[in-house]
Amino acid sequence: MSDQSPIAVLPEIDALKRAVAGKSYWRRVGEQLLRDRLTLSVMLLLSVIIIMVLAAPLFATHDPTVGSVLKRLKSPGYPGHWLGTDEVGRDLWSRILYAGRYSLLCGVLPVLLALLIGGVLGLSAGYFGGTTNSIIMRSMDVLYAFPSILLAVAICGMLGSGIGNTILALTITFIPPLVRISETVTTQVRAFEFVEAARASGARPLSIMHFHILNNVLGPILVYATSLISISIILAAGLSFLGLGVTPPDTEWGLMLNNLRQAIWVNPLVAALPGAMIFITSMCFNLMSDGLRGAMDVRM
């Protein structure tokens, strides 16, 4: 689906510069972001999309489930339905809003879950090394042997469709890359002398991980996770597009695209609209990830 090649990350641990500047790392990241107009506008657009979708009942003009046989596949600008209607005459704008709820849920939640599970696994693998590392990383190699779409489709295909299975399948798909990146950065940070010093002064593994490692690895891992959200949104909609994800009467951008596929011969513009939403949202997450990477000074 996208680049999942191993990435070497060198986190910025420039304690001196920070001390001179007199500001914390996250404060500097915030200031960097405020100066980055592209990233700011992308984040603004994303917030608008998220708010509109969450508050769908407020912004929707029609009931998303009620259609009219007389008003099928109308183009944008049709009186009463400014974005047109779908294949059974339901208001496209309202449906896109309601569908966005599931698209965002299936796009964001799996990455968060995978971040939690993969982060813990990768941190332990990188910190403890040795056998722990081998067991965790070799089992991830097995999951890496599946192209991401194939793994997601296989799990959903075997378990059956539904939101729960989609989220489960995508979570499993995104665990290996997150484990790998957390392991790489943790191994790098572990080699620094302040970790050795903490250990020598008698700190326990958990507190070393918490105070010395987590802060230094969080940046790169978060940047990587945001870029995974864009892939996750495309994949989640893709699963629904195949009929493996969200099932009617609930709807989702990918599922709308699937339902409108045949309509492409009648009204190509209307059929293409839900896909544009997938594209815009995914693009926003990608651009935001790029902006965060720049602000956090993560080199990948």
Partner 1 sequence: MWFFLVRRVLYAIPILLGVSLVVFLMMKMVPGDAADIMIPPEAPKEVAEMIRARFGLDQPVHIQYVRWLQSMATGNFGTSIFTNQPVGSELFSALTNTFLIATPAVFVGFTCGVLLGTLAAFNSGTWLDKLFSSMAIAGVSLPHYWVGMVLVAIFAVVLNVLPGQGMGPEGFPGSWEQIKHLVLPVVTLSLIPMGVISRLVRANVLEILSMEFVTALAAKGLRRRNVLLHIMKNAAPSALALMGLQFGYLLGGSILVETVFNWPGSGSLLNLAIFRRDIPVLSATILVLATIFVAINILVDVLQTLIDPRIRR
94, 217, 286, 288: which one binds partner 1 (CB under 8 A): 286
User: Rg of the chain over CA atoms, in angstroms?
Assistant: 22
Taking CB under 8 A as the rule, which mask of x and - marks residues 80-119 in contact with partner 1?
Answer: ----------------------------------------
Sequence-distant (6+) residues with CB within 8 A of 173 are: 110, 114, 148, 151, 152, 155, 235
Q: Which stretch binds partner 1 (CB under 8 A): 67-75, 106-114, 128-136, 253-261?
A: 253-261
Distance CA 60, CA 286 (A): 27
Q: Describe the chain by its helix, strand, coil percentages, rounded to 5.
A: 75, 0, 25
Q: Count the site residues for partner 1 by CB under 8 A.
A: 50
Binding-residue pattern over the window 187 to 226 for partner 1, x denoting contact by CB under 8 A: ----------------------------------------
Range in contact with partner 1 (rule: CB under 8 A) among 16-24, 76-84, 156-164, 189-197: 156-164
- The amino acid occupying position 263 is A
Nearest distance from residue 176's CB to partner 1, in Å? 12
Residue 268 is a binding residue for partner 1 (CB under 8 A): yes
Contact between 148 and partner 1 per CB under 8 A: yes
- Amino acid at position 104, single letter: L
Is residue 290 involved in binding partner 1 (CB under 8 A)? yes
- Smallest distance from partner 1 to CB 278, Å: 5
Site residues for partner 1, 160-189, by CB under 8 A, read 160
The full 3-state SS of 121-184, as one line of letters, equals HHHHHHHHCHHHHHHHHHHHHHHHCCCHHHHHHHHHHHHCCCHHHHHHHHHHHHHHHHHHHHHH
Long-range contacts of residues 73-81, Cβ cutoff 8 Å, at least 24 apart:
73/263, 73/266, 73/267, 73/270, 74/267, 74/270, 75/267, 75/269, 75/270, 76/269, 76/270, 76/273
Among 108, 279, 294, 297, binds partner 1 (CB under 8 A): 279
Does the N-terminal peptide bond of residue 76 adopt cis geometry, omega within 30 degrees of 0?
no
Residue with tokens 């090649």: 5
Give the whole-angstrom CA distance, residue 263 versus residue 268. 7
Q: Which stretch binds partner 1 (CB under 8 A): 25-33, 65-73, 121-129, 275-283?
A: 275-283
CB burial of 110-128 (b: ≥16 within 10 Å; e: otherwise) equals bbebbbebbbebbbbbbbe
C-alpha 269/C-alpha 267 separation (Å) is 6
- Residues 229-248 vs partner 1: string with x where CB under 8 A? -x---x--xx--xxxx----
Closest by CA position to 169, among listed 152, 157, 147: 152
Which C-beta is closer to partner 1: that of 129 or that of 157? 157
Instruction: Kindly indicate which of the ranges 68-76, 108-116, 141-149, 181-189 contains the residues binding partner 1, using the contact rule CB under 8 A.
Output: 141-149
Tell whether residue 141 is a contact of partner 1 (CB under 8 A): yes
Give the nearer residue to partner 1 in terms of CB position, either 213 or 256. 256
Instruction: Choose between 191 and 265: whose C-beta lies nearer to partner 1.
Output: 265
**Residues interacting with partner 1, by CB under 8 A?**
1-5, 138-139, 141-143, 145-150, 153-155, 157-160, 230, 234, 237-238, 241-244, 254, 257, 261, 264-265, 268-269, 271-272, 275-276, 278-279, 282-283, 285-287, 290
